[in-house]
Structure formats: C-alpha cells, structure tokens
C-alpha cells in the first residue's frame, strides 16, 4: 500500500513539474532572427588594387531595414561605402568594388539598420564580424 502511494505521489510530482515547465516555455517571448552573409576578397592586395565586397542581411521583424557596407583604414572611424535600397523584412544586398588606395590595414563590415515604430530614423541593429584586408 505504501509503494502505491509513493508511486502516485511521484507521478503527481512529474506531472506538476511538466506543467510548470510548459507554462514557463509559453511565457518566453519570441525574438527576431537576423540572417546575414558577408564576404571580402582578396585579403591581401597591392596599393591601388580593388577589393570585392559582397553581403546581405535581413531581420524577420516587420520593420523597414537597410543593409550597408562600411570600411575604415587602420583604427579610424567607420565610413559607409554603399547601401542597399532596403525594404520591410529585408535589408537588401550590396555587391561592390572598393579601391585600396593606401598601404596598411583596411577593414570592412556589414551594418543592418532598422527604423523605430514611432519614427523614420534608421538605427543600427546589427554589425557583421569585421573582415580585414592587408594593403601592401
């Protein structure tokens, strides 16, 4: 008789734990997913040569998005090279060539911008990992 009660209590505990876990999972909010692809080639060039920069990014949120390619020389500030037209659900893609004018390190990254619901001002949402090109 005692083992029957123990099994019943154990079964009730498992059912209760499963119910609490299910409630906890349903309370978690869904987060937006960002997908991107960003490539730079070649990674070593002579001064004056061109570098191919290609990428896209999108967020599955229903906001207006715009994808841009940015560059910087050495540790300077980031400058926008080119931006896609952008759209709702899609930041767009950029396929461009950049001339490596000076010797040293040239860095590139992709940047995804989005609008707020209340304004049309674009704000930085995501940046890709930096790709480095050595200019000799």
Asked if the model's pLDDT at residue 64 lies above 70, the reply is yes
Grade residue 1 by pLDDT with cuts at 50, 70 and 90: low
Asked if the model's pLDDT at residue 100 lies above 90, the reply is yes
Q: What is the mean pLDDT of residues 36-52?
A: 97
Closest to 83 (Cα-Cα) out of 94, 99, 96 = 94
Q: What are phi and psi of 48, to 5 degrees?
A: 95, -15
Q: What is the mean pLDDT of residues 43-70?
A: 95
Q: How far is CA 113 from CA 6, 64, 68, 91, in A?
A: 58, 8, 8, 8
- Cis bond leading into 42, ω under 30°? yes
What is the pLDDT at residue 27?
Answer: 41
Asked if the model's pLDDT at residue 88 lies above 80, the reply is yes
């Amino acid at each position: 008789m005692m083992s029957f009660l123990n099994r019943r209590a154990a079964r009730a505990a498992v059912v209760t734990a499963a119910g609490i876990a299910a409630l906890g999972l349903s309370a978690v909010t869904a987060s937006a997913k960002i997908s991107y692809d960003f490539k730079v080639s070649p990674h070593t060039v002579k001064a004056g040569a061109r570098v191919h920069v290609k990428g896209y990014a999108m967020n599955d949120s229903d906001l207006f998005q715009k994808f841009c390619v940015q560059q910087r020389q050495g540790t300077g500030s980031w400058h926008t090279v080119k931006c896609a037209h952008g759209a709702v659900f899609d930041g767009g893609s950029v396929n461009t060539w950049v001339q490596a004018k000076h010797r040293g390190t040239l860095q590139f990254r992709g940047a995804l911008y989005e609008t707020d619901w209340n304004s049309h001002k674009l704000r930085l949402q995501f940046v890709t990992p930096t790709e480095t090109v050595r200019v000799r």
